Every structure is written in C-alpha cells, then in structure tokens.
Amino acid sequence: MIPVLSRAQIRALDQRAIEVCHVPGIVLMENAGRGAADAIERWLVERRPAGLAGLRVVIAAGRGNNGGDGCVVARHLALRGARPILVLTAERSELRGDAAVACAALAGTGGSIVEQATPEALQTALASADLAVDALFGTGLDRDLSASSAALVSALAAAPVPVIALDLPSGIDADTGAVRGFAVRAALTVTFGHPKPGLYASTALERVGQLVVADIGIPSALSRDVGVTAELTEVADVAKLLGRRPTSAHKGMAGRVLLCAGARGTMGAALLCAQGALRAGAGLVTIAADPDVAEALDRRVLEAMTAPINPASLSTALADLTAQAQAVGVGPGLGRSEQSARIVIELVKHFPGPLVIDADAITLLGRDLALLEGAPGPRLLTPHPGELARILGGSPREIEADRFTAVIRAVERTSAMVLLKGPRTIIGAPGALPVVNPTGNAALATGGSGDVLTGIITAFACQLPLRQAAIAGAYLHGLAADRWVERTGADRGLLAHEIADELPAARAAVAATPRPMPD
C-alpha cells in the first residue's frame, strides 16, 4: 500500500526529513525536480519520437517551493536538450530559502528567466511554446485564489499546448480536490513523495490527467511517523491477497456463495451478480429469490443454481440457505417490497458470515441503520454517491465534494465497512485507514457494473476477510475495465457481463506481476 498524505502531513514529513534525518531541503527539491523531469521525458517519448530535443517549454512558476521545483525542472530539461523558459510571477529577489537557491542555480547555468510576469506575459510566452509546466502553487493552496492569482491560473489553463502539473494542478485543494475558484487542466501530474487525497476526488480527476508519483528520497516508512490519511492499493497487494489455487481444490473448497437478488423486471442484476461471483472463482453460486422469480431465473442460468425463498416461512428458508453459504450478497435487483425488507433484516441480524449489502438492500437498510450494531458477522455496504447521500443526508454532490470524509462519516454512522463507488472507489472500515482503488475508467459507467462488483467481492469473501475481499474485488473489477479499454481503444460501450468475462485474464495479469524482493 502506498501512503496517501494530507497537506499538513506532507509538510510535517518534509520537516522531519530535514530536521531528524538531516536531508537538506534543497536536496528534496532537487530530487523532486529531477523526478519530474524524468516523468516528463517518459511521457513525451511516448508521443514525440524526438523526446525533449529542441522542445520549447514554458514553466510558469510562483514564488514558493512549487516555483523552486519548477526552477529545478527547467534546469534538467535544458540539460536534456529542451529549450525551457521560466516565467516567474515574482521578482527573483522575492524568492526565499530553497526556491531562491534553485532559481540561482538555473540562472547560473544559463537558464532563461522572465521575472514579475503578468498574465498577459505568460500568454505571450505560451503562444510559441510546445509544452507548459505548471509550478504556480502545489499543495499550499488552502483558500480560493485571489483575483490576480486566478488570472495567472486562467492564462495557464488556456494554454494552446499540453500542461504538466507539478505536485497538483494549480487551483486544486490538496486535501479535498475542490477547485479553488479556477484550476489548471493537466495532461500529466507529477506529485512528489506521496499522493495527496485531493488527487483522487471526482472534482479533480479531469484536471489531474495521468498521475505519476516521483520519489524525492524520503523513506516510505517515515510517513508513518507523521500520520497517513489513506492508502493506495498496489498490484502487489492484490497479488498477495489472491494467491494461487491449490492443485487439490474442488468446487466445495472454492467458495459457496449465496446471492439474494432479483425481482420481476430486474432479474438481470441477479444474473450479472452471479456471473461476477463465478468469474471471480466461486465454486458454487446460488441465487435465492421469490418463488416465481427463482422459477424464471432457473430457465436462464447455466452455471449458477436457484432457490426459492418461501415468504410464508422466510426466516426458516433463509436459515437453511445461509447454512450452506460461506458468504452472502444481498440487494442487486432485489426491489424495495416489504418482503425484500424482511430478507435484508433477517440477513443483517442473523447471518454470522460476511455479508455484502448493495443497491436496494442499502436503501432498505437505511430505514434503520441501528440493525447493523452488534451484527453477528462482518458487513460491507457498497453505495454509489446517491445511496450514501440517503444514509448520511445531503446530496450526491456534497458526497462527491469530499469523498474521504463521506466514507469516514459513513463508517462511523453504520459501524460497518463502506465501499463508495465512483471514479476512484474508496473503501473504509472501522479502525482502519481508508483505501483508494487506482483502477477503473469511465467505461464502467454502465448498468450492471455494480452488480458484477458485488458478485466478485462476495466470492472473494469466501476466502478472505471481508475488507481484503473488497480491496481485491474493487481492484480486479477496475482492472478488467482497464484491459477492455486498452484492447478496444473505446471509452464507452463496455457491457457489464464483459467485465465479468475479463476477470480471469485480469487475475492472471495480477498474478504475473513481478513481486518486490522481501526486506
């Protein structure tokens, strides 16, 4: 897991590196700038055969440390054959500390610097550029831009060339991802040391572009000393969780999944959920539903089984069915009838194993969240922003404005694990840091994709603790979509059943990832 640090934590980490580890600040700045130059060069080589050679690069730099990073980038780009010009929004004499040292080094090596640039001067420089670098603000921005700052950011945002942001696109709040009046839209963001929470906010994703984390020479373990806001899943984490199936495995060992799902008009949700569970590796999958729905499903299923839930003896029927299950998923296409509510209540109160609660089941459970208190087994809610807004109050837009805080509040409110779906899924659990899932793309915006996710997680919960099943399930679900986009070149048209069908190959790709050497 990669630690995700807030604005304050990043500052504390830098300070600790300087004061306790005796790494001078200028060394950290040099590492950051060189790492950004490396990332820029890699990004360019994929798009321009000549790479940096002869490239006209405008670096828009502020007076703070982000501007100092820009000075280092300019110097390293020049050493690699580019033709950079630093457009400084202040006079050189106004720079302090490490930023002043970095700017002096750029000037001393023949770097081209424009001082006290106005928005108009920045626009003029950009008009003849091939590439722009945003080094205006970085992580320090914690309030709306002033009129003069907004004019500079606006000029950079209007650049007729791709923009690469250092640390964060200027105008983005490092902690929440909120746009502070106006923000740059970057093609690539090179963030330093650790990712910041705001980089994964829905409000920021379109402006972050491709995200690269540049090492600045601070040991990752040191971040634990200053606190961590969240963690980012890595492929090695998922490979370790999933492992390989024993040669002696049989279907009874591979996981027995029960899905309480489907109603008239929404039986497809149950079928997709079952397909997700089977493709994720479950050995036996049973869909339980009203007798008439179960009968209709029975005509359509191949690998899954069906079972009726007799409304006259609902408690007994569910007790018999869950006795054979290692993990249960409830909600996809279930409907919101009184019988559906009884099913959800019965499972929440009495099933002792891992229970994944999705879709209609979340809405039904929202009527009485106290049912989750003292539940006999682990519970995971998988809401989208609208469903979470109904639990917490407010609107989906408010949820999206600060997804990390919303997940933390939901965990506190429900005493359960919560997986908030979206462009960057976040998984929260009592007593644990939120986990950000890095996989997935806009092609997942298709009906049924969440049903497949529920099936995947429920299948994994037969073999893994529920939180780990959610982490691995979200990663593999997103990776399946990423592979589809890479193969087709499309950003839409993905069907939910195709996500499930891609899972075995996605899992194989994870398993084939080289493992890091043990410490």
DSSP 81-126: T-EEEEEESS-GGG--HHHHHHHHHHHHTT-EEE-S--HHHHHHHH
Tell me the C-alpha distance between 200 and 209, whole Å.
11
2-232 and 237-511, same CATH topology: no
Q: Cα–Cα distance between 64 and 356 in angstroms, integer? A: 47
Distance (Å, rounded) from C-alpha 241 to C-alpha 471?
9
Whether 285 has a pLDDT exceeding 70, the answer reads yes
Residue 188's pLDDT is 96
pLDDT in tens, 181-219: 889 999 999 999 999 999 998 889 889 999 999 999 887
Least confident of 42-51, 113-122, 403-412, 445-454: 42-51
The torsion defined by the Cα of 250, 256, 261 and 263, in degrees rounded to 10, comes to 60
CA 452 to chain centre: 18
In the predicted model, what is the mean pLDDT of the chain?
93
Closest C-alpha among 85, 88, 73 to residue 41: 73
Residue owning tokens 């899992």: 507
Please compute the mean of the pLDDT values over residues 108-130 and round it to a whole number.
92
Quick one: CA dihedral 203, 488, 163, 108, positive or negative?
positive
Q: Of 3.40.50.720, 3.40.1190.20, 1.10.3720.10, 3.90.1150.10, which CATH number belongs to 237-511? A: 3.40.1190.20
- Give the pLDDT band of residue 516 (cuts 50, 70, 90): low
Mean pLDDT of the 159-165 span: 95
220 pLDDT band, cuts 50/70/90, is confident
| Spatial separation of the C-alpha atoms in residues 364 and 387, rounded to whole Å | 10
The answer on pLDDT for 356 being more than 50 is yes
- φ and ψ of 249, to 5 deg: -65, 145
Which amino acid is located at 373 in the chain? E
Q: Decide if pLDDT at 355 tops 50.
A: yes
- The stretch 434-454 carries a mean pLDDT of 96
- Smallest CA-to-CA distance from 414 within 428, 401, 398, 399 is with 428
End-to-end CA distance of the chain: 15
Structure tokens at 246: 């024993």
| In contact, 383 and 420? CB cutoff 8 Å | yes
**Cα–Cα distance, 76 to 341 (Å, whole number):** 63
Looking at residues 90-101, what average pLDDT do you find?
Answer: 92
Q: Please state the rounded mean pLDDT for residues 395-404.
A: 91
Is residue 144 packed enough to be buried (19+ CB in 10 Å), middle (13-18) or exposed (0-12)?
middle
Domain positions in the chain are 2-232, 237-511
Q: Which CATH number fits domain 2-232: 3.40.50.1820, 3.40.50.10260, 3.90.550.10, 3.50.50.60?
A: 3.40.50.10260
What pLDDT was estimated at residue 519? 45
Note the maximum CA span of the chain.
Answer: 86
For residue 7, give every residue at least 6 positions away whose Cβ sits within 8 Å of its Cβ, in sequence order, or none.
139, 140, 142, 174, 175, 196
Question: How many helices (H) does the chain have, and how many strands (E)?
Answer: 20, 18
DSSP-assigned letter for residue 172: B
Q: Given a cut of 80, is residue 145 above it in pLDDT?
A: yes
How far apart CA 119 and CA 105 sit, in angstroms, is 25
